[in-house]
Chain A
Amino acid sequence: MSRAAGQPGGGAALAAAETGKRLAAAQSLNATLDWSQELLDAEAARVDAMAERGPLDGIPIALKDNIVTVEQPTTCASRILEGYQSPFNATAVERLRGAGALLGIKSNMDEFAMGSSTEHSAFGRVKHPLDPTRVPGGSSGGSAALVAAGVVAASLGSETGGSVRQPASFCGVVGVKPSYGRVSRYGLVAFGSSLDCISVFGRTVEDAGRVLSVISGPDPLDATTVNRPPMPVPQPRQDLRGLTLGLPREYFPADLHQGVAAALTRTIELARELGAEIREVSLPHSAYAVPTYYIIAPAEAAANLARYDGVRYGARRVGAERDIRSLYRATRGEGFGAEVQRRILVGTYVLSAGYYDAYYRKAQRVRSLIADDFRRTFASGVDLLLTPTTPTPAFKAGEKTNDPVAMYLADIFVCPINLAGLPAVSIPAGRSEGLPIGAQLIAPSFDEERLLAAAAALERAIPAEAEVR
C-alpha cells in the first residue's frame, strides 16, 4: 500500500495532491459527502510533521460519514444531521491519525447506515464504479466505491448487517468485518448497538489487515471492547494445508445466481488445490437470520435514533402547533428519510408492550440459535467457513427501492455473521458479465489473524478480474 494508491511512495504532500486529483476525477460517482484539497494538504502537513513514521504513513483513508470527526461534518447522509460537527474524534479516527494516515474524506452512505444499495442517502445515490446504472451495495457504498475506483487504498465503513462485505463483493474489493468488541465503537454513530462494527475496505487483504490492526484493541471509552491486544498484522499463508473449510449448505441454495455459483465452485477448487480439506456442514438457523435481523436491528435503531429530536443539535423544525410534540413530529418527520422512518416504526412496534415477547424476545432466542450453529460447527473441527458473500452481483439502481424485503434479502449471507458477532472477510472471486463476485470466509470470534492469512492465500490464487463460466 503506497501513499497515493498505485503510486510509488513520496511525501505526504504528493499523496494529498494525487488523491485530490483522483477525487475530482471520480466526482460523478457521488461517493463523497465532504472533502477539500485544503484539508488534504493540511493533513499532509500534519503527517509530514510527525516525529515518527507510522504504519499508515501518508496513506489516504476515507471514512464513512457515520464516523465522527472534528475537522469535518458528520451527517450520516441524513438531513437531520446536515452540517453537524462533532466536538470529538472517533477512537478509530484517533488511531488512524496516530498511525500517520491521511484523512479528510467523508464518504456517502445509506442514511444512518440503513440500506443495501447506497440509494437511501439524503444526498443522492452512489454509482457503481464499473457500471453507473448499478448500485455499489450498501450501506457503506461510498467507501467501497472509492477503493474500487482507485481513489484511496483503504477506507473505513461500518457493519450492522453486512454493510461492508456486501458492497465489497459488489465492487470487487476486500471487505473485513472484525469480531464484535475488536474495534472501538466510540465515535461510530449508533444504529444497532449490539451489532455495529467499524469495518475495513482494502484493495488487498494485506492492506485491509494493516488498517484493521491499527484500529483494533481495547478502548476505555467503549465498554464492549474486549481486553485483547490489537490484532497483529496477519502474515499471509502460502497455502491452506492443515485447514478445514466448511461449506454450509444453506448458503448454496439451488437458485443461487449462476455466475456466483460458478465463482464459488472455482474458489472451492482453488482452496482444495492449496491443500485445504473441504467439508460440507449445516447452519440450519441461518435461514431465519434476515427476519431476526429485521426485528433486532430496527428495535435498537428506534432507541438509538430517539436523540435526533431537534432540541440540542442538528436540524430543527417546529410544526404549526408550536409545542414540544410538534417540534418532535416536524423535526423527525422532515429530517429522516423513508427507510429510516420505516425502521423506527418497526422497531418501536416490536418493542411495544404486548408485542415484546412475540417479536423481540423471540428474535433474541433465534439469534442465540444462529450463533450456536456457528459455535458447534467450529467446535467440530472446521477452521473457517466459505460461502458466497451475496446471492447476486450488483443490481440495477431502482431495482429494489420499492420492495424493502427484496432489498433486505441482498444481505442474506452476510447478516447471520453480525448476529453471531463473528469476524468475516469478502474477497473478489472473479466476475460474471463484467460484474465482481465476492467469496466470504468466516472465522470463530477473535480469529481474525488466521482468517486474513487464509484469505490472502486464496486471494493470490484467484484470478479476481477474470470472467467465470
Chain B
Amino acid sequence: MDWETVIGLEVHVQLRTRTKMFCADRTTFGDPPNTNVCPVCLGLPGALPVPNAEAIRLGTQAALALSCIVHQTSVFARKNYFYPDLPKGYQISQFDKPLATGGSVSFDSPERGRMRVGITRLHLEEDAGKLLHDRFPGKTAVDLNRAGIPLAEIVSEPDLRSPARPEPIWSRSGKSWCMPG
C-alpha cells in the first residue's frame, strides 16, 4: 500500500505581554511557584476576566502577517474539562468565532519549489498551569504562575507533505515572530 505523508500543524505561540491574558499578573518565566497569581487566574469565586488589549493587538498583528482575515467580531468561549492545572474548570479560548481565519504562508521548498501553506485560523486563549509530578513523592504539585498566560493558537491546513517542511517554517518564523510594523 502506498502512503502519503500529510501534515497540518497546530502551534501555540506565547504572546510577549507584560501581564496575563485576563488579569494583571506578571508573565515572567521562572518566578517562585504560585507567586504570579490573583483571584482571576486562581479562579476564585466572584472574580471576572478582563481581556488584555495588548494580547489582542499582538494576535491581530500575527494574523495580518499570516495574511489572515481578521474578524470584526470574535468571541471568547469556554472549553470545559476537569484537570488540576485548570483553575476554573474551563479554559477561555475561542471556538466558532476566532480572531482570524483564512491566511497562508509561502516559502521555497528545495524539492517542490514555491509552496503555499494555508492557515486555517488564529485564535487567542489562556494557558493552563503546570503540574510537577516528581518533586514530592506520591504527590503532584500545582504551579499556577503559567495559568492565564496569553497564547495565539495557529492552525494550518494539511498542506505539508514532508516532516522536513514544518521545521524551517515554524522555527524560523516561530522563534522570532518579529512582526512587521
Contacts and interface: CB of A to CB of B under 8 A. Distances in A.
A406 interface: no
B163 interface: no
Nearest to A67: B46
B82 A306 contact: yes
B89 interface: yes
A307 B48 contact: no
Contacts of A87: 39, 44
Interface string B44-69: 11111111000000000000000000
A351 interface: yes
Interface in A202-240: 220-223
A302 B90 CA distance: 10
B9 interface: no
A90 interface: yes
Interface string A297-327: 0000011011101011100000000001000
Given A303-B78, A328-B82, A221 B48 contact: yes
Contacts of B28: none
B84 interface: yes
B150 to A, nearest CB: 16
A189 B88 CA distance: 13
Nearest to B80: A303
Contacts, number: 70
Contact of A190 (B42, B46, B80, B82): B46
B84 A324 contact: yes
Chain A contact residues, majority secondary structure = loop
A88 interface: yes
A328 B83 CA distance: 9
Given A303-B89, A303-B90, A309 B82 contact: yes
B43 interface: yes
B88 A307 contact: yes
User: How big is the B interface, by class?
Assistant: 20 to 34
Given A303-B80, A307-B87, A311-B142, A186 B45 contact: no
Contacts of B50: 220-223
A311 B84 contact: yes
Contacts of A311: 84, 87, 142
B130 to A, nearest CB: 14
Nearest to A89: B46
Contacts of A76: 45
Interface string A172-189: 000000000000011111
A386 B87 CA distance: 44
User: How big is the A interface, by class?
Assistant: 20 to 34
Contacts of A220: 50
B91 to A, nearest CB: 11
A86 interface: yes
Contacts of A328: 82
A312 B45 contact: no
Given A312-B43, A324-B84, A306 B48 contact: no
A139 to B, nearest CB: 16
A186 B48 contact: yes
Nearest to B89: A306
A84 interface: yes
Most interface-central of B39, B46, B80 (chain A CB within 10 A): B46
Contacts of A190: 45-46, 48
A81 interface: yes
Interface in A41-96: 67-68, 74, 76, 81, 84, 86-88, 90
A306 B78 CA distance: 11
Given A90-B46, A190-B46, A223-B51, A306 B80 contact: yes
A303 B80 CA distance: 7
Interface string B150-171: 0000000000000000000000
Contacts of B89: 303, 305-307, 309
Interface of B: 39, 42-51, 78, 80, 82-84, 87-90, 142
Which 3 A-B residue pairings sit nearest by Cβ, starting from the closest?
A306-B89, A187-B46, A68-B46
22 contacts: A67-B46, A68-B45, A68-B46, A74-B45, A76-B45, A86-B39, A86-B45, A88-B39, A88-B47, A189-B46, A190-B45, A220-B50, A223-B50, A223-B51, A302-B80, A305-B89, A307-B45, A307-B89, A309-B89, A311-B84, A312-B87, A328-B82
Given A86-B46, A222-B48, A311-B84, 6 more contacts: A186-B48, A187-B46, A190-B48, A221-B48, A307-B88, A324-B84
